[in-house]
Structure 1
């Protein structure tokens, strides 16, 4: 199952296009958030990660919706590995549960 997460950080951005793309991709549930991009605490992202189960994937419209730094990406990816779940980015067609997706996400295909 796909669990969606959308986030906007400015008034110029809009939740519906991201949400609609995730629903079209097959997300059964979409968590939505509108905090500042500088805000580190993201309760809806935490909720999405808590909701995610082994074998499921967190789907994002763009990877920059997940984290603001490489460190945050790495920490979140390590959490996915512990949960036996993965990440799917729609605009870059990345799926970290596939060998090709791991290669693109990590650069060498290893966790």
Structure 2
């Protein structure tokens, strides 16, 4: 019981809103896009953001609780995207991945 209380105090000191309902990464992304739209972000920019979110972020992270998202998961996702971009459809190195191949 004391451990739980200490954990709650630590989380409050870190700025977490303990009264807020837990949100998923997907819910946070939806809210962020709405805020961007209200701030006047161009429709084409919003469309690009949505495409990236729906194709890359939401499938991997969308259902995770936002308060349980460790930085290592984000780094792993970014690393996978970097590797995916550097490979062609057949798994061979993409010419831009190796400067020697573009000469």
Q: TM-score range by the shorter chain?
A: under 0.3
Structure showing the higher helix proportion among its residues: 2
TM-score by length of 2: 0.23
Q: TM-score, normalised by structure 1?
A: 0.22
Larger proportion of strand: 1
